[in-house]
Amino acid sequence: MKSYTLQPAVAVRGEITVPGDKSISHRSIMLGSVANGVTTVAGFLRGEDNMATLNAMRAMGIKIEDDGSVLKIHGAGLHGLSEPEDIVDCGNSGTSIRLLTGLLAGQSFFTVLTGDRYLRKRPMKRVVTPLAAMGAKIAGRAGGEKAPLAITGSQLSGVAYDSPVSSAQVKSAILLAGLYADGETVVTEPHLSRDHSERMLHHFGADIEAAGTVVRIRGGRELTAREIVVPGDISSAAFFMVAGLIVPCSELLIAGVGVNPTRTGIIDILTMMGGKISLLNLREVSGEPVADILVRTSALQGIDISGDLVPRAIDEFPIIAVAAAAAKGRTTIRDARELRVKETDRIRAMAENLRLAGVRVDEAADGMTVYGTEKFTAFHADSCGDHRIAMSMLVAALVADKPCTVDDTECIATSFPNFFSLLEQVAVR
Ligand code: S3P
């Protein structure tokens, strides 16, 4: 187990770019594989999660070349995948296993998907149930709730599914299955979750239509290869945005970040807290909005967060909890029960870690209340094997009174392989 000890900083300054968007990278590999022709992907995130998806598609016979800069995916068409010889390991990646389950449900072969000890604890019925309603044959541990999942490809038919959760993984699994289903598949969710699948399916020529929280797709239409440029991941930028806001005397420019409105809850929340954040040079790349984000040290205030802001910032709550702990007054987070079934229980993990830094945190079933504090006391935190907990506590360490240690930091490689070098690059001591 690797631990990391970080010295506090007097400022964070400079200009950085963060690695490519994890969600878009996964989707580019999956859609490129089942499209006709060669899809190129620039800015692909070579983190462990995305490499799990890439290796899965290679195991299904897809040729993917990587010259270190651009990926070339030799798409085999909707029906061109072949049965993998062995079980497919999705590692820590919920997106890999849930989206692949949807993609594989309508194939003409058998697949077994598994993952690491964290992924094998996470709920899978949320995708298995709607896919079974489409005619999928999927077995798993605990009555189909847990991986390994064994998928016997079968003929699917379109359904109209009202999802009880606002989850892009659930929505995307159903849409990918919908590519293979007879007729129309419709997914409705309570609040809009990230819509990268809808955008990219449209970009590849699928028969898809999205309106508000409802998406419709018609099966059978072949996809056409595209050139994809993946923007920087706003979920990775979020750690540096908060660092730039809470460390004194800071000014940081994060260039080329994806600012899809289904992902910018973090910008809205930090702005509501009084954060000085500017979006510069707004443009569109491969059907996704992109901007440069400038942040400056700000006096943050506690706020109340709930409702449709939650899915728009779902991966950012560990770092939002750090911003709240450094703010004046009280921040409440509600309607965020989903945080309990992420890579770890993120409500519990952040409450326990922030308490070690001298912060008062009250847990609720669906969120937490964080009481802002003047200065964090030196702490020794545990990531619980979760990349976003590890990075959040390392950002907190920048404003502690003495050096702090975070245990179990290898997991950062799942989404942000160069996090440490960027952090050390911008930290002024
Ligand atoms: C993701 C969807 C979200 C998010 C995850 C990536 C995706 O999960 O937390 O990191 O790429 O579709 P849920 O669909 O479970 O909310």
Place of tokens 């999705």: 90
- Residue ranges per structural domain of the chain: 3-20+231-428, 22-229
Alpha-carbon distances of 214 from 23, 175, 176, 200, 311, rounded to whole Å: 20, 11, 15, 16, 15
Write the CATH number of the domain with boundaries 22-229: 3.65.10.10
315 an active-site residue?
Answer: yes
pLDDT score recorded for residue 206: 98
β-pairing verdict for 137-140 and 63-66:
unpaired
**Residue 23 in contact with ligand 1 by CB distance below 6 A:** yes
State how far the Cα of 264 lies from the Cα of 388, in Å rounded to an integer: 17
Q: Which amino acid is at 279?
A: L
Lookup: tokens for 305: 């967060």
22-229 shares the fold of 3-20+231-428:
yes
Q: String of b and e for 293-313 (b: at least 16 CB within 10 Å)?
A: bbbebbebbbbebeeebbbbb
Polymer length in residues for the chain? 429
Q: If you measure from the C-alpha of residue 273 to the centroid of ligand 1, how many angstroms do you get, rounded to a whole number?
A: 25
pLDDT score recorded for residue 374: 87
State how far the Cα of 373 lies from the Cα of 377, in Å rounded to an integer: 10
Lookup: tokens for 80: 């061109």
**Residue 30 in contact with ligand 1 by CB distance below 6 A:** no
Q: Which amino acid is at 60?
A: M
Q: If you measure from the C-alpha of residue 23 to the centroid of ligand 1, how many angstroms do you get, rounded to a whole number?
A: 8
Along the chain (429 residues), what's the average pLDDT of each consecutive run of 10 residues? 97 98 98 98 98 98 97 98 98 98 98 98 98 98 98 98 98 99 98 98 98 98 98 99 98 98 98 98 95 98 97 98 98 98 98 98 98 96 98 98 98 98 98
State how far the Cα of 330 lies from the Cα of 161, in Å rounded to an integer: 38
pLDDT score recorded for residue 53: 99
β-pairing verdict for 207-211 and 214-218:
antiparallel
User: H helices then E strands: how many in the chain?
Assistant: 13, 25
Write the CATH number of the domain with boundaries 3-20+231-428: 3.65.10.10
pLDDT score recorded for residue 395: 98
pTM above 0.85, yes or no: yes
**Nearest protein Cα to ligand 1, atom 10:** 315
pLDDT score recorded for residue 51: 98
Q: String of b and e for 382-395 (b: at least 16 CB within 10 Å)?
A: bbbbbbbbbbbbbb
pLDDT score recorded for residue 211: 98
